[in-house]
Structure 1
Amino acid sequence: MQPSLSFFSGFTPNDLWFLAEAALRTLWISALSISIGTVLGAIFGWILYEGKLTATLTLAPVLDVFRSVPLIIQLVLFYNFAPIVGLDLDPFASGVVILTIYTAALVANVARGGIEAVGLPMRRAARSLGMTYWQDLRHVVLPIGGRAVFPAWVGVALGVMKDSALVSVLGYVELLKASQILITRTQEPFLILTLAGAFYFALSYPVSRFAASLERKWAQ
Structure 2
Amino acid sequence: MFDTSFTWNDFLYLLDGAWVTLQLTFWAILLGSFAGLLFGLLRALLPRATLPLAWVLDVFRSVPLLIQFVLFNSFKSIVGIDINAFAVGCIVLGIYAAAYFTEIVRSGVLSVPFTLRRASRSLGLSYVQDLRYIVLPMATRVAFPGWLNLVLSVMKDTALVMWIGIVELLRASQTIVTRIQEPLLVLCIAGLIYYVMSLVVAQLGARLEKRWQEND
TM-score by length of 2: 0.95
Tell me if structure 2 keeps the 8 A contact 1:79–1:89: no
**Consecutive unaligned residues in structure 2, runs of 5 or more:** none
Q: 1:40 is matched with which residue?
A: 35
Q: State the 1:217 CA deviation.
A: 2.8
Q: 1:100 and 2:94 equivalent?
A: yes
Q: State the 1:157 CA deviation.
A: 1.1
Q: 2:85 is matched with which residue?
A: 91
- The worse-fitting range, judged by mean Cα deviation, of 209-218 and 59-68 is 209-218
1:14-73 CA distance string (max 9 Å, x none)? 1110111110110001011001101100101111112221212x1011000000000000
Equivalent of 1:8 in 4, 7, 10: 4
1:1-220 alignment to 2 at 5 Å? 7-9=3-5, 11-56=6-51, 58-220=52-214
Structure 1 stretches of at least 4 aligned residues deviating more than 4 Å after TM superposition: none
- Residue identity opposite 1:15 in structure 2: D
Tell me if structure 2 keeps the 8 A contact 1:66–1:101: yes
Q: State the 1:143 CA deviation.
A: 1.1
Q: State the 1:216 CA deviation.
A: 2.6
Q: State the 1:148 CA deviation.
A: 1.1
Tell me if structure 2 keeps the 8 A contact 1:33–1:96: yes
TM-score by length of 1: 0.93
Identity fraction in percent: 46
**Consecutive unaligned residues in structure 1, runs of 5 or more:** none
Query: What is the rounded CA distance, in whole Å, between the counterparts of 1:76 and 1:32 in structure 2?
Result: 19
Query: What is the rounded CA distance, in whole Å, between the counterparts of 2:126 and 2:182 in structure 1?
Result: 62
- Residue identity opposite 2:135 in structure 1: V
- Residue identity opposite 2:176 in structure 1: L
Q: State the 1:6 CA deviation.
A: 5.1
Query: What is the rounded CA distance, in whole Å, between the counterparts of 1:7 and 1:165 in structure 2?
Result: 29
Q: State the 1:89 CA deviation.
A: 2.0
- The worse-fitting range, judged by mean Cα deviation, of 205-214 and 170-179 is 205-214
Query: What is the rounded CA distance, in whole Å, between the counterparts of 1:197 and 1:7 in structure 2?
Result: 20
- Residue identity opposite 1:12 in structure 2: T
Q: State the 1:189 CA deviation.
A: 0.6
Q: State the 1:77 CA deviation.
A: 0.6
Q: State the 1:213 CA deviation.
A: 2.1
1:145-164 CA distance string (max 9 Å, x none)? 11012111111111011001
